[in-house]
């Protein structure tokens, strides 16, 4: 199961990089950020496709998407100086809480 979490971690990091670089690609007009978007999503989806072989699809996607939202929000704050208001921060906190609840209490993680 450790390998599955390692692959999921790499998939989340790759998706975060790809999504963060999407803004920097300026509509795919800048080559390097555009390549990072394509490579990042390719690595991410390839890894996720292997994770769902042994992890519940809904749970894997919830962790992947939730962590992606959280990490992209953090990266956009630091890289692009984009701030979030209280409702946005509250919503992201709920997403983080949901991921923690899934990890600590769900019996659906592996099938």
Q: What token pair was written down for 57?
A: 């699809």
> How far apart (Å, rounded) are the C-alpha atoms in residues 83 and 21?
17
Burial per residue of 14-36, b for 16 or more beta-carbon CB atoms within 10 angstroms, e otherwise: bbbbbbbbbbebeeeeeeebbeb
- Taking only the tens place, the pLDDT of each residue in 23-45 is 999 999 999 999 999 999 999 99
> How far apart (Å, rounded) are the C-alpha atoms in residues 45 and 16?
12
**Per-residue pLDDT, 107:** 83
- Taking only the tens place, the pLDDT of each residue in 82-103 is 999 999 999 999 999 999 998 8
**Per-residue pLDDT, 111:** 55
- Asked if the model's pLDDT at residue 108 lies above 90, the reply is no
DSSP 55: B
Q: List phi, psi (to 5°) of 55.
A: -120, 145
> How far apart (Å, rounded) are the C-alpha atoms in residues 43 and 45?
6
- Asked if the model's pLDDT at residue 109 lies above 90, the reply is no
């Amino acid at each position: 199961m450790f390998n599955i979490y390692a692959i999921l971690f790499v998939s989340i990091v790759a998706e975060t990089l790809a999504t963060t670089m999407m803004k920097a690609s300026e509509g795919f007009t800048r080559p390097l950020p555009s390549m990072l978007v394509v490579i990042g999503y390719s690595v991410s989806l390839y890894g996720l496709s292997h994770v769902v072989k042994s992890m519940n699809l809904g749970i894997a996607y919830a962790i992947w998407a939730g962590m992606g939202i959280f990490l992209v929000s953090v990266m956009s704050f630091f890289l692009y100086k984009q701030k979030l208001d209280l409702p946005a921060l509250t919503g992201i906190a709920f997403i983080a809480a949901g991921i923690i609840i899934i990890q600590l209490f769900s019996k659906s993680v592996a099938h």
